[in-house]
Amino acid sequence: MSYLDEYKRKLVSDDEAVKVVKSGDLVHYGEFMMNSHVLDAALARRKDELKDVQIRTVTCPFVPQTVQVDPERESFIFNDWHFSGASRKLHDKNLCNYIPLTYHEGPSFYDRGYIPVDVTLLKVTPMDQHGYFNLGTSNSITPAVCDASKTIVVEVNESIPRCLGGSRETIHISRVDYIVEGDNRPLPELPDVPISDEDRKIASIVMDEIEDGACLQLGIGAMPNAVGAMIAQSDLKDLGVHTEMLVDSFVDMYEAGRITGTRKTIDIGKMVYTFAMGTKRLYDFLHENPVCASYPVDYTNNPYVIGQNDNVIGINNAIEVDLYGQVASESSGIRHISGTGGQLDFIFGSYKSVGGKGFICLSSTFVDRDGQVKSRIRPTLTPGATVTVPRSLNFYVVTEYGITMLKGKSTWERAEGLINIAHPDFRDELIKEAEKMKIWVRSSKIA
């Protein structure tokens, strides 16, 4: 049988395809922009027939129909490995649960049989002449999910870029059970995030730490985007890329001639990533571009793989840091906001890299819902806050007031360094709290 004949045999409607889902099943959606709104909507139409279907995804960019039609969570129980804005809003309404994860370990949960997957529903590119569908912008844990899945349903979408590997960036038709042809809706695009003066100042401090030949990882948000913009306009040379997330600023840097990858020690010349989110410009850049290499997350985010490149520069955001050096980046108190993601992986991995530096970046203050200005450098984390990076692994912390390195520092030295980069209006209060906590030496110097 030819691949085209097999394709025709497996081609069904969306409603027909989701009939494979039974009550009590664990259903895995695609990840990030590869979540299928078509298959989700078809599954939602079966609400009255199903009970206790557990749905898992990674950063779904839209509010699933399965959630909207079942606010009592009797038919569908929605879970997310890393929150999008949509998942965050659902969590606030008790309609979505977070699954704790150290990102590079994700595939192992499926490989070891901890998560038995009944059905996988994901979005893919059209099949090529060799019978392969490309996984598009999200490699991540998808290959491991497919390996563990009893049934695989794909929605073909012609708008998805064909993203080259790397490894495991495709799935063969022989492993697919049902094929649905969707509406070819363009991929969702991330909106522009306003860059503040504080972001620019922090970015300028980080820029002073980047040398020619450095290997870059950028997290999501305005401040990493500011760093990318500054790099594109700089005279830095021969930068490499080994990152979790590929964003538009990498395109800016590449087209400005800053990225060549020639000084990398592994994947030389390649921009390595595990998922991409951005605008159409990024997706067009990725399409069949051999300079980009998509890998599963247990490769990109493995600290011991990260550390094989020299001069790794990891740049990530945080919500708050306490005087012990603990970092909260995924929750504000008990309110869950995002997830551990690759932050912990790259802080750890950057330290394994010769000349590497891992930066936790945050503005010194924020304005709360009551209009009160609060410090992001705190005596202790807000009660209920999740520790994303433990104090034992934290490396550099940066605010608009400066930078401090925490490795090898005592509790009082950490407190001194962090208070020095806190907003001046809060430094006296932080000193008093440090004294109460027995982590202060009176001879300490505060700028």
Helix (H) or strand (E) holding 246: strand 245-246
318-340 burial: b if 16+ Cβ within 10 Å, else e = bbbbbbbbbbbbbbbeeebbbbb
Helix (H) or strand (E) holding 399: strand 396-399
Paired residues of 335 in beta bridges: 332
Between CA 258 and CA 65 the distance in angstroms is 43
Identified catalytic residue from 169, 244, 400, 433 = 244
Indicate the SS3 state at residue 179.
strand
For the question of residue 244 being annotated catalytic, the response is yes
- Structure tokens given for 40: 């989700």
Q: In the sheet that 312-317 helps form, which strands lie side by side, from edge to edge? A: 292-294, 271-273, 240-242, 215-218, 312-317, 357-361, 396-399, 402-405
Handedness of CA 29, 19, 89, 222 (dihedral sign): positive
Handedness of CA 114, 119, 120, 121 (dihedral sign): negative
Radius of gyration of the chain (CA): 23
* Nearest CA-CA partner of 389 in 351, 419, 360: 360
CA dihedral 405, 409, 410, 412 (to 10 degrees): -30
Helix (H) or strand (E) holding 200: helix 197-207
Residue identified by tokens 């079942």 is 70
Determine how β-strand 53-58 pairs with β-strand 76-80.
parallel
Between CA 219 and CA 202 the distance in angstroms is 14
Between CA 341 and CA 80 the distance in angstroms is 12
Q: How many CB atoms lie within 10 A of CB 204?
A: 13
317 φψ region: left (φ > 0), alpha (ψ -120 to 50), beta (else): beta
Just list the catalytic residues: 244
